[in-house]
Amino acid sequence: MEIKDRVLVIEDDKSIRNFMKTILEANNYEVIMAVNGAEAYSMITSQCPDVVILDLGLPDMDGMKILKSVREWSGMPILVVSARSHERDKVEALDLGADDYITKPFGTSELLARLRTAIRHARVSYLTPEGMQTGTFRSGDLVIDYDKHRVYVGEQDAGLTQNEYKIVSLLGKYAGKVLTYDFLIKEIWGPNMKNDNRILRVNMANIRRKIEHNPAQPQYIFTEVGVGYRIVDPD
């Protein structure tokens, strides 16, 4: 099973929302959707998207508010897609931390190209060549292939999202050691991320569901209550 990047589309216009969903799924992205700011906040923290496509003209709040709020704790890629074409709107969004600004109407090729670029930049910023892990980690049926950026259980690709892979690969790098919640959050989501363990717990629950034979009794990744997580030593 191939890893799919999870894209959160925040858009209140149903026709545009469905158009983007069709295009993105056809290009092998997993798509989740929110129609207003309240849903967007909930899905960003509970669904852990790899990248966000954000419309500014939402019915319950200005998308700039969401952009500013998310940037206080996360470095996840955010592409603004808006009908606002004034230069001041583009400058404000970029100053608030948007990775790109696409003006409606937009072409399919432009959207996909900018999305690929944002995801690629996020991956490069996460692992520099000096800190890149190579080779494989093996313990029982669990295999972390650092060269391919894949995690396998037996012969099957676990299908982890980008952030889930980051967590597992970081634990594998420090196999046998307890990594604190704060350390993991800062390493995965950046130094401006608030020390809120909820997003980490959601990711870990998803990881265990994909790699553990019995998520309630994990054999690979263990919780050190009140401290953090630890992966087993390699074989």
What local confidence, expressed as pLDDT, does residue 75 receive?
A: 78
Instruction: Report pLDDT digits (tens) over 38-66.
Output: 999 999 988 889 899 999 999 999 999 99
Q: At 124, list the tokens.
A: 């490069």
Provide the pLDDT for residue 226: 82
Q: What residues contact residue 14 under an 8 Å CB cut-off, 6+ apart?
A: none
Q: What is the pLDDT of residue 56?
A: 95
Q: Please tell me the predicted confidence (pLDDT) of residue 87.
A: 82
Of 55-69, 130-144, 154-168, the one with minimum mean pLDDT is: 130-144
Mean pLDDT of 133-146: 87
Is the model more confident about 151 or about 175? Answer: 151
Read off the DSSP letter of residue 47: H
pLDDT for 129 beyond 50 = no
Q: What is the DSSP letter of 62?
A: B
| pLDDT given for residue 151 in this prediction | 95
Residue 134 has pLDDT above 70, yes or no: no
Q: What is the pLDDT of residue 189?
A: 80
Q: Which CA distances in Å does 183 have to 76, 78, 96?
A: 17, 23, 25
The whole model's pTM is what? 0.61
Please determine, for residue 133, whether its predicted confidence score (pLDDT) is greater than 90.
Answer: no
Q: Hey, what are 148's tokens? A: 């391919």
- Supply 114's token pair: 């900018």
Tens digit of each residue's pLDDT (9 = 90 or more) over 5-41: 899 999 999 999 999 999 999 999 999 999 999 999 9
Domains of the chain with bracketed CATH: 6-126 (3.40.50.2300), 131-231 (1.10.10.10)
For residue 97 the two structure tokens come to 């931390």
The confidence score (pLDDT) of residue 132 equals 56
Transcribe 99-124 into DSSP letters.
Answer: SEEEESS--HHHHHHHHHHHHHHHHH
Higher pLDDT, 235 or 126: 235
User: Per residue in 197-227, pLDDT tens?
Assistant: 888 999 999 999 999 999 999 999 999 888 8
| Chain segment 82-118, per-residue pLDDT in tens | 998 888 888 898 888 888 899 898 899 989 998 988 8
